[in-house]
C-alpha cells in the first residue's frame, strides 16, 4: 500500500463499541432482487458476498418495516418475525467475509408503488403527492398510525439484533417517509407531528429514541445506530440547508454512532437556506457535527485520492456505492498497492464477472448516465 493511502486503513471504534477494520463503507444500494415473499435470494446474497471482503462495513439495501412501507419490487422484508431467518442469512454472509453488517430500515411512505402495498393504500405525513408525473396522492396517517410505525421501526431493529446484525441505519433520506415528516413540502400537519420545524422533527427523533430503547433492552453486545439523511429538496417549499443543519444538530444530541449524508456528489454546494460562502454541504454538516457524531460521506468518490481528499476534510468514513459495483475489489486493490488496476467503467458483458443480480443489472443497462457503460473494458 502506498503511504498516502494508509489513513483509509486505520481502525475506527464507534460510541457503541463496534470496531471497523478500515474507513471504507459499502453504501446502501437497492438491488430489486429479493423473492416475492420478502426473503433474500441467492443472487442477492452472492452480490453482497462478492463485495464484503474488503470494506469495513456493509450497509444493506433498505428493508421495509411494515407491509405498507414496501417501496421497491424485489425489496426484502423485516416486517415480521418470520423474516428473521432470511435477515440472518444475509447478515451471516456479510460477516463471514470480515465486514460489519448494518441493516438499513425503511418506510417508503408516498413513494411506494400502490401495487406493492396492501389495498394500494399509500400513506404519508399529509395528503400531498410527489411533484412528478403519475404521482398518487397519499392518505395522511392518523396519530395512532404514526405511533404504530414508530413501533414498527423498533420491532425491525429487534429482529436485526436477533438476526445477528452489528447495527441498523435509519433511512431518513431520499424522500421516503421519515424525510416526508421532516419536509415542509410533504408535512402540512398541525398536530404534534408537524407545523413548526421542531414539530417536524418529532417523528424522526421518536424513531431514534425508540430504537435506542430496544437496543438497550435486547442487544447483548455492541450494536450501533446510524441515521441517513438528504441535505436538501428541490421543491420550493422543501427542506433547505438551514433546516438540515437543525436536523444534524438534533441528531448529534442523540449520541448516535454516525450520521450518513446521502449525496450524488460529495463536493456539492448548498442550494438555498444559508449564506453561500463557497463551502460544500459536507463542510457545513461537518462543522455542526464536529466531534459530536461521526459523519459518513458519499458521492462520486471514485479513486483513493478522492477518498483521501474527503478524509482530509474531517469526515472519518467514506461510503462507496457505484464504485464498488463497478470494482468489487476496490479496497483490496488499494491495500495491495494496485490502485491503478481499479476499473472505473462497465461493459455489457460484465454482469457475471461482477456478480450483479439481473434486476439490478437491467436497471443499470437501461438507465443512461447512471453508470459509465462503455463498449469495451478500460480504466
Residue 223 lies in a domain: yes
Please report the DSSP string for 13-40 in residue order.
E-TTS-EESSSEEEPP-----S-TTSPP
Q: What is the pLDDT of residue 291?
A: 87
Q: What is the pLDDT of residue 276?
A: 83
Q: What is the pLDDT of residue 236?
A: 84
> Considering 64, 176, 227, 258, which one is annotated as catalytic?
176
176 is catalytic: yes
The number of folded domains in the chain is: 1
Q: What is the pLDDT of residue 377?
A: 57
Residue 167 lies in a domain: yes
Q: Which domain holds residue 160?
A: 3-343
Q: What is the domain-level CATH number for residue 145?
A: 3.20.20.70
Please name which of 23, 43, 9, 81 lies closest in space to residue 294, comparing C-alpha atoms.
Answer: 23
Residue pointed to by grid coordinates 449520541: 255
Residue 376 lies in a domain: no
Its pTM stands at 0.97
Residue 368 lies in a domain: no
Residue 352 lies in a domain: no
Please name which of 168, 158, 253 lies closest in space to residue 205, comparing C-alpha atoms.
Answer: 253
Q: Tell me the three cell numbers of residue 22.
A: 478500515
Q: In the chain, which residues have pLDDT < 50?
A: 379
Q: What is the pLDDT of residue 211?
A: 98
Q: What residues contact residue 58 under an 8 Å CB cut-off, 6+ apart?
A: 25, 26, 48, 51, 52, 94, 99, 100, 101, 102
Q: What is the pLDDT of residue 137?
A: 97
Q: Where are the alpha helices (DSSP H) in the chain?
A: 42-51, 84-96, 143-163, 177-182, 197-200, 202-218, 241-253, 281-289, 304-312, 322-326, 330-335, 351-354, 358-365
Amino acid at each position: 500500500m502506498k503511504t498516502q493511502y494508509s489513513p483509509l486503513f486505520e481502525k475506527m471504534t464507534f460510541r457503541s463499541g463496534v470496531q471497523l477494520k478500515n474507513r471504507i463503507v459499502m453504501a446502501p444500494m437497492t438491488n430489486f432482487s429479493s423473492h416475492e415473499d420478502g426473503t433474500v435470494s441467492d443472487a442477492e446474497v452472492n452480490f453482497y458476498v462478492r463485495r464484503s471482503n474488503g470494506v469495513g462495513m456493509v450497509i444493506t439495501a433498505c428493508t421495509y418495516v411494515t407491509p405498507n412501507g414496501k417501496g421497491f419490487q424485489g425489496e426484502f422484508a423485516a416486517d415480521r418475525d418470520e423474516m428473521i431467518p432470511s435477515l440472518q442469512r444475509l447478515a451471516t454472509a456479510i460477516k463471514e467475509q470480515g465486514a460489519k453488517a448494518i441493516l438499513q430500515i425503511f418506510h417508503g411512505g408516498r413513494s411506494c408503488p400502490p401495487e406493492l402495498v396492501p389495498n394500494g393504500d399509500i400513506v404519508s405525513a399529509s395528503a400531498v403527492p410527489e411533484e412528478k408525473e403519475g404521482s398518487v396522492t397519499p392518505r395522511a396517517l392518523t396519530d395512532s398510525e404514526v405511533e404504530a410505525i414508530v413501533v414498527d421501526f423498533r420491532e425491525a431493529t429487534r429482529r436485526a439484533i436477533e438476526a445477528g446484525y452489528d447495527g441498523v441505519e435509519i433511512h431518513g433520506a431520499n424522500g421516503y417517509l421519515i424525510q416526508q415528516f421532516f419536509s415542509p413540502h410533504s408535512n402540512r400537519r398541525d398536530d404534534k407531528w408537524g407545523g413548526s420545524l421542531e414539530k417536524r422533527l418529532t417523528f424522526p427523533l421518536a424513531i431514534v429514541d425508540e430504537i435506542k430503547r430496544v437496543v438497550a433492552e435486547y442487544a447483548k453486545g455492541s450494536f450501533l445506530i446510524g441515521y441517513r439523511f438528504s441535505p436538501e429538496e428541490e421543491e420550493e417549499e422543501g427542506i433547505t440547508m438551514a433546516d438540515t443543519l437543525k436536523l444534524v444538530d438534533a441528531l448529534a444530541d442523540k449520541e448516535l454512532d454516525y450520521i450518513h449524508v446521502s449525496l450524488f456528489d460529495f463536493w456539492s454546494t448548498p442550494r438555498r437556506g444559508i449564506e453561500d460562502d463557497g463551502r460544500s454541504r459536507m463542510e457545513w454538516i461537518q462543522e455542526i457535527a464536529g466531534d459530536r457524531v461521526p459523519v459518513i460521506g458519499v458521492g462520486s468518490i471514485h479513486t483513493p485520492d478522492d477518498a483521501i481528499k474527503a478524509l482530509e476534510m474531517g469526515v472519518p468514513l467514506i461510503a462507496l456505492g457505484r464504485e464498488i459495483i463497478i470494482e468489487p475489489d476496490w479496497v483490496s486493490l488499494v491495500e495491495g498497492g494496485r490502485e491503478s488496476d481499479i476499473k472505473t467503467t462497465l461493459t455489457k458483458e460484465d454482469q457475471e464477472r461482477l456478480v450483479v443480480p439481473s434486476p439490478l443489472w437491467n436497471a443499470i443497462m437501461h438507465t443512461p448516465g447512471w453508470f459509465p457503460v462503455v463498449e469495451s473494458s478500460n480504466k
